[in-house]
Structure 1
Amino acid sequence: MSRLLLTRATVLDGIHGPASGHTVVVEDGRITHVGPDTEAPQGADGDRVVDLAGRTLMPGMWTCHFHATYHELGAKPNVPYGNDFPPSYQALVAAKNLHTALEHGYTGVVSAGGSNEVEPGIKRAIEDGLVPGPRFRPSGRELSTTGHANDAVPWHWHMPAPGAVRVCDGADGFRLGVREQIKRGAEVVKLFVTGGHGTPGPKDSVEMTRDELAAAIDTAHARGALIRGHLVNKPAIMLALELGIDIVDHCDAMDDEVIEALVETGAFVVPSLHFPKHFLELMGDGLGFNADAIRADLAHMYETIPKAQAAGVRFVLGDDYGAVGFPHGLYGRELRLYTEHAGITPLEIIGWATRNGADLARRGADLGTIESGKIADMIVVDGDPLADIGLLADHKPTAVLKGGTVVAGVLPHS
């Protein structure tokens, strides 16, 4: 079988700093060799040899808070949340958004909720080759209680429930809700545990009881699914960590005690600061009293994230792209935000995007780093992103490889 030899690469393997003058060999979709050019196997008949001429070769990235079905969500305020388009239309939106992520170098995506259980079908379409897309862990409707922050739309005279939400009440209600979503193909269950962080509900509200939260987490784990929660205030964060939640979305009240619990449990954190920062810059004091609160939350997180990073908290990328005024495709601006405002180094943020993302998706054994034996999901960057994060933040990669096949961009001519 023919091989792909990527020579004279600067390899950023997701573990160490850059290594220049390296060759990476790909065969049958997997990496079979990584090492200095001087130790590389010779090309044979049928092999493709590509001289990267010093370009950076790094693992494909993961975005781990993704709403594939969302497009200008919230632009129609009188429409039930997530029913702004019919499910067939939402499937096309999801396919487009996932392809957009792939073009930007995100070869892996983990969902944080989607309307009308559309996402599992899109995953199958990608795997069957009907549409191009990244490796995808789909979700279903977001689960929470009657009247919670995203159940605040007007009652619509017995029209169908909001397409992005399934309301549950009581421990048994959440057991049923989680089982139902997993039956319909969800691999990630999303809970709304608190208000705050872009929702109509106050950030100090706790919208699930301890029994409800425990039932949801236990049921998801019993069926092999990941479970995540919209978690903003400290009591709810600490309770969710105690009960074993896998992913904390937002974590706005992170402090030393929360950091300690995150390290002890190994839960992942998606700060998703790009969304509030974007709207603060867009509207400023036009946000009203929320503007000062958002500024304070951002300042707190900018100060706390480096402490948490140093302590060993596992951060990943992702945000609420697809909300009104916040389109898919802006993903790279997250990289700039965390490096410029939170003091995270480019090497650390690339670790969030690669190794940590694959670990969250439970694919760390075969993805997330460039090592012999791993699947060849990689991106080629024209330059050094450690010296200029803008090469990732502001531009699509030169080439995106999924399983050793170029799926976006082009490799340099050999």
Structure 2
Amino acid sequence: MNDETDTRAEGTIDGITVWNGERSLGPSRITWRGDTIEAVEPATERFEGLAVIPGLVDTHVHLDTSVLDGSGPGDAWPLVTPDEEKALHVAGHAQRFARYGVTTLRDLAASPVQIAVGRAFDQGVIAGPRLLSNGPVGMTAGHGDLFTPPRFRDRPPVADSPDECRRLVRQWAREGATGIKIYTSGGILSMGDQVGWRNQTRAEIAATVDEAHALGMLVAAHSHSAAGIDIALAVGVDSIEHATGLTDAQLPALVEANVSVAPTLLVNDIVAAGGGGVRAESAEKAREAIADRDPAFLRAGRAGVRFVLGTDANGRFVGHGGQLEEVRLMRRAFDWSAERTLVASTSDAAASVGLAGRVGMLAAGFAPDLIVIRGRPWLDIDDLQLSNIVAVVSRGRVISGALPVRER
């Protein structure tokens, strides 16, 4: 945000128990100015039953849909809506997610539209949460390409050789993307795609990862297959998205590499159930993809795989506020404590997208992104409910509810 805006944004929360992203600090006083917390200090409890936690970090969203009804890839909406109008919908999605406590989002498979909106948020042109954007590098007839109907000629860019992959990475870097997304398997919602299809050659994928890392960009790999996870690990990606084909044999390598995994539990369950505009083809693919997921994820969670909050939310299948349900599902899916689950949704999620030291924690020098909530969600994750949220602060400003004030 610009300096003029920063000088006006300041606040204090005094006498509420703080969970700082790792542990409970007890009753505390948090003060901030602009987009920076100045201090978190012990205080006398004044508001019993309330707590303050960091804003959630969703590492995998898609904001390229209509904010009105979720129309998006696979519909006519993205084909006929000009970028100038799409930008308003991207901003609307981000603002709505933030009001439900998700103060940092990463759009995977972004376009220049999402990049521009994120930049406008950062510069204070319009109010909004932190929005990171990963530019996609995929092949012709790959998962990313097949969200656009095959006979529509105005298509997002693809890359079909190692040199084309490097060039596209450089173009995304020039555009201002904060990371790159690749595909090491087919997908579920793409049209005519099969999960088991190879997406790009090993040489193409390796070139993309090498070029992205050379330019300081993190790489997220979409994968729904065991083979895709093997490729992602071999080329040194920074995160794996979905990972529904995970096998026990891959657990030691995942734990050793400390690669984060976004499980996207809720969306795959919803699509597998069918109905609500889900194509029959997609529902069947989702059912096959998650057939062995739950026991595999349970073993992975117990083995120490680094799952972080990532939902695939786009305002349609996973709507605004759906992240809270995803967090509750994560605790049960991985057999974690409530606190371990909340770490994966705040401080560790922030670290996984390159924001360690800036968001996901409540401490001096960090961003004042936080939720005031009834209950103790680090002790009972079921307290993490929309009805319990009292206020949300993003970039130091109250964007939902109101900070509690004790009557004299």
What is the TM-score of this pair, normalised by structure 2? 0.86
Identify the range of structure 1 (230-239 vs 274-283) with the bigger mean alpha-carbon deviation.
Answer: 274-283
**Selected match of 2:61 from 50, 59, 66:** 66
The within-5 A match list for 1:277-356 is 277-283=269-275, 294-295=286-287, 297-298=289-290, 300-322=292-314, 325-356=317-348
Q: 1:181 aligns with which of 148, 160, 172?
A: 172
Deviates more, 1:29-38 or 1:54-63: 29-38
8 Å contact from structure 1 (residues 21, 54) kept in 2? no
Instruction: Say if 1:325 and 1:294 are closer, same or farther in 2 by CA, change over 3 A.
Output: closer
1:149 maps to which residue? 143
Deviation sequence 1:203-262 (CA, Å, 0-9, x none): 222111010000100111111111112111112211221211111111111122322222
What residue is the counterpart of 1:109 in the other structure? 105
Say if 1:195 and 1:203, in contact at 8 Å, map to a contact too.
yes
- Counterpart Cα distance in 2 of 1:323 and 1:29: 27
Kindly indicate whether residue 19 of structure 2 is the aligned counterpart of residue 8 of structure 1.
Answer: no
| 1:123-272 paired onto structure 2 within 5 Å | 123-140=118-135, 142-152=136-146, 153-156=148-151, 159-161=153-155, 165-200=156-191, 201-272=193-264
The amino acid that maps onto 1:26 is W
How far apart in 2 are the matches of 1:114 and 1:184? 11
Structure 2 CA distance, aligned partners of 1:233 and 1:264? Answer: 20
| Match in the other structure for 1:86 | 82
Instruction: Report Cα offsets for 1:78-122 as digits up to 9, x if no partner.
Output: x4x94352111110110001101211111111120224x101110
Write the letter of the residue equivalent to 1:336: R
Query: Which of 349, 361, 366 lines up with 1:369 in the alignment?
Result: 361
Tell me if structure 2 keeps the 8 A contact 1:259–1:311: yes
C-alpha distance after superposition, 1:260-281 (max 9, x if no partner): 2222222211111211211334
Gaps of 5+ in 2: 1-6
- Secondary structure of the 2:29 match is strand
Preserved contact between residue 148 and residue 207 of structure 1 (Cα < 8 Å): yes
Contact 1:59/1:368 (<8 A) preserved? yes
- TM-align CA RMSD: 2.9
Is the Cα contact below 8 Å between 1:336 and 1:393 reproduced in 2? no
* C-alpha separation in 1, matches of 2:282 and 2:396: 47
Change (3 A) 1:73 1:299: same
Q: CA deviation at 1:155?
A: 4.2
Using the TM superposition, give the Cα deviation of residue 405 of structure 1 relative to its aligned residue in structure 2, in angstroms. 3.0
Q: Are residues 28 and 289 of structure 1, via their aligned partners in 2, closer, same or farther at CA, if it must alter by over 3 Å?
A: closer
**Which segments of 5 or more consecutive residues in structure 1 lack a partner in the other structure?**
39-49
Letter in 2 for 1:6: I
Q: Deviation of residue 10 (structure 1)?
A: 1.8
Letter in 2 for 1:70: T
Aligned residues: 393
Q: Distance in 2 between matches of 1:176 and 1:75?
A: 25
The whole-number CA distance in structure 2 between the counterparts of 1:287 and 1:119 is 26
Cα distance in 2 for partners of 1:3, 1:86 equals 37
In structure 1, the residue corresponding to 2:292 is in which secondary structure? helix
Distance in 1 of aligned mates of 2:109 and 2:265: 18
Q: Which residue of 2 is the match for residue 42 of structure 1?
A: none
AA partner of residue 353 (structure 2): A
Distance 1:216 1:169 in 2: 11
Deviates more, 1:1-10 or 1:258-267: 1-10
CA contact (8 A) 1:144 1:193 kept: no
Which whole-Å deviations, capped at 9, do the CAs of 1:364-406 have from their partners, x for residues lacking one? Answer: 1132122333332221112222455344343473212234332
Query: 2:290 is paired with a residue of what secondary structure?
Result: helix
Secondary structure of 1:65's match?
strand
Checking the alignment, whether the CA contact within 8 Å between 1:112 and 1:190 is kept in structure 2 is yes
Q: Which amino acid aligns with 1:145?
A: M
Structure 1 letter corresponding to 2:57: W
Q: Does 1:23 align with 2:29?
A: yes
Could you tell me whether the CA contact under 8 Å between 2:188 and 2:282 is conserved in 1? Answer: no
* CA separation of 1:325 and 1:136: change in aligned 2, threshold 3 A: closer
Q: Following the alignment from structure 1 to structure 2, what is the Cα–Cα distance between the partners of residues 273 and 233?
A: 15
Whole-Å separation in 2 of the counterparts to 1:336 and 1:11: 20
Change (3 A) 1:383 1:403: same
* Change beyond 3 A, Cα 1:145–1:4: closer
